[in-house]
Amino acid sequence: METKHGFSKKVTAASLLVALGIIYGDIGTSPLYALKAVIGNRKIEEILVYGGVSAIFWTLIIQTSIKYIWLTLKADNNGEGGIFSLYALVRRYGKKLVIPAVLGATTLLADGIITPPISVASAIEGLGMVDGLKDTIIAGNNVTVGLVVLILSILFFFQRFGTQVIGKFFGPIMAIWFSMLLLVGISQIFLHPDIINALNPYYAYEMLSQYPNGFWLLGSVFLCTTGAEALYSDLGHCGIKNIRISWIFVKTSLVMCYLGQAAWLMHQTEDFLNGRNPFFEIMPDWFLLPSIIIATLATIIASQALISGSYTLISEAINLNFWPRVAVRQPSETKGQIYIPSVNYVLWFGCVLMILYFRSSEHMEAAYGFSITITMMMTTLLLGYFLRYRLKWNKFAVWGIVGLFAIVESSFFIANVAKIKERWMFLFFELGIFMVMYVWYEARKIHNRYTNFTELGKYSQKLAELSEDDSIPKFATHLIYLSKADRRHHIESKIIKSIFSKKPKRADVYWFLHLNRTNEPYTLSYNVSELIDDKVIKININVGFRIQPKTELYFKKIVQELVANKELNLHIRPDGSTKYNNEPDFKFVVLEKYLSVENDFTIKDNLLLNGYKYLKNMGISDEKAFGLDKSDVITEQVPLIYQPITNIELKREDYEIANK
């Protein structure tokens, strides 16, 4: 069995290798900086080192193994995962669930501009330990920053070509990476086996309760699990079994590496790190340069996973009406692989800005983690609804599970709040993403609230008469309108007005096409209702929220099937209209709405609708968004009058009196 992305869900050596390459880049590169961030500039002592490793180990158990690997992966939306997939599963159970979905997506997207620079910078800074490069590669200097900017710029530039060529190397490289973590960690544990005691949860408790300001160290501890959300987001790529089985190897490698770093910390001779990175310190001298190269490749793969995940997230947001329609391209033949130019530019600019502003991984550590805590909290909330209403779990069990995660994640959130002062400029980026999603979603609701529908049956006979009226020039053989009406016999009043007002649009067949976005990711089906045979036809096309619609292709395919089944006559008539070309012409009418000056809005609605108008102008046209051929589309301006101005006090004056 294959996923929609073309990867096998069966458990094989190849599928496990794919899982390593796609899913674990972010969480897999956290040993580069997590324990280093816990120690920081503090004195190296047992309560700090043992407590830090213990807290990291139990965070991986609770947050990653229990919450994501065991529970969240159960929220399988026809093979797909991610916060929007989870929202699609539970949105019927609460109107306000849109808020946690938008917040979670916002902060997850924001994570995409800080993970690449912190990961790549951590690896590049390791070059400073290589003899001959110590004076050149120093954290925060221009050479280091320039190298990071160059690597990230090359990575973003090649997104437009797809990753099918280099993607085949992701799995083997990550397998080498995790094997390296495992072996170097074990080598240190053999030298200092006493470090195994650090897995005792008491040490984590002791650090948090007795070490000075120990609770605030949770902000650094949290860095070990920042890639956990990707386990769920990439569910559709590999399948639940491949993720769960490969996690055993990944988790073992991570824990061994953290223990190895801690063992080195406890048995080296200096009281402070003084800029050293425990990750590279545990490497044998002869393997230092190869380890830096492998680490750099691993961080590039981690960055690639986040970039691809950002494309998928925005694509889902567009199809669920959370984001303006923007250009979405498929750079290769690989199923499910997409490229969004506008997102690519924003992420590249954000990543470059991050490294130019923070300049070193150490400074970025102080700002990292806040966004992902919010994402995880929002996922927990939606997961509670899923366990209760979809899996029908006992409500007390659900409360207990959600309560446990709420306590853990709230603690991480509070500890990460202390990072606000280091990341104030980052908040503007997050606020911008949230406002785009909020304005677009709320404005769409206002549009829908004031859209008037009417019974299509009332006009079917009149449409038939117009079709046969030879005194009116034929507008098209097949006239197609896109409709929001999901009911079989309903149609927008503005469409009827478009057909009959001013110059009536005569056609052989009137089609009304409704695209229904489903909660399932890859649905693609349709149904047909003929109100008048070969004259007035309503089609509903069900399109999954992960599919980019190609409306014109779908429509022509449906017409072909109807003709083949002898359900439709293409109206090749001997009346002269098809004398020179007997092929039917398809004409799509796109009604482009604009706000009429006759409206009288509340301040909130006015701000939302004007914001919507601004965002819509920045996006692509409706014909491109729906996959329509420009030569087959006519755009018609339609004034929208939601709340007409009624209290006009206009007083007539007598002409003679007015001129005295």
Give the pLDDT of residue 3.
46
pLDDT band at residue 644 using 50, 70 and 90 as cut-offs: low
pLDDT at residue 359 is higher than 90: no
Residue 489 pairs in a beta bridge with: none
The whole-number average pLDDT for the span 505-516 is 90
Digit-coded pLDDT (tens) for 267-326: 988 899 988 899 999 999 899 999 999 999 999 998 888 888 888 888 888 888 899 988
Residue 543 has pLDDT above 60, yes or no: yes
CB-side exposure of 146: number of CA atoms within 13 Å?
6
Q: Residue 596 is which amino acid?
A: S
> In angstroms, rounded to a whole number, what is the distance separating the alpha carbons of residues 432 and 294?
36
**262 with 52: CB under 8 angstroms?**
yes
Looking at the predicted structure, is the pLDDT value of residue 611 above 50? yes
Question: What pLDDT, on a 0 to 100 scale, did the predictor assign at position 142?
Answer: 83
The answer on pLDDT for 402 being more than 80 is yes
Percent of the chain scored above 90 by pLDDT? 37
Q: What is the mean pLDDT of residues 137-141?
A: 72
CA distance 525 to 118: 44
Distances (CA, A) of 201 to 54, 207, 247, 409: 6, 10, 22, 17
618-633: average pLDDT: 77
Chain segment 55-70, per-residue pLDDT in tens? 999 999 999 999 999 9
pLDDT at position 578 is 53
| SS3 of residue 428 by DSSP | helix
Residue from 27, 481, 32 nearest 261 by CA: 32
Q: Is the pLDDT of residue 634 over 90?
A: no
Over the chain, what is the mean pLDDT?
A: 85
Mean pLDDT calculated for residue range 150-179: 86
DSSP 8-state assignment for residue 451: -
The predicted structure's pLDDT at residue 490: 84
**pLDDT value of residue 570:** 65
Q: Where in the chain is the domain with CATH 1.20.1740.10?
A: 13-444
Average pLDDT over residues 136-158: 86
Q: How confident is the model at residue 643 (pLDDT cuts 50, 70, 90)?
A: low
**Closest C-alpha to 20, from 243, 353, 227, 282:** 243
Please tell me the predicted confidence (pLDDT) of residue 49: 95
Least confident residue range of 6-15, 172-181, 271-280, 312-321: 6-15
Count of helices and strands (H, E) across the chain: 27, 8
With bands split at pLDDT 50, 70 and 90, how would you rate the model's confidence at 392?
Answer: very high
Pick the CATH number of 13-444 from 1.20.1740.10, 1.10.10.10, 3.30.530.20, 3.40.250.10: 1.20.1740.10
Question: Cα torsion for 612, 617, 619, 620, to the nearest 10°?
Answer: 130
* Cα–Cα distance, 466 to 343 (Å, whole number): 46
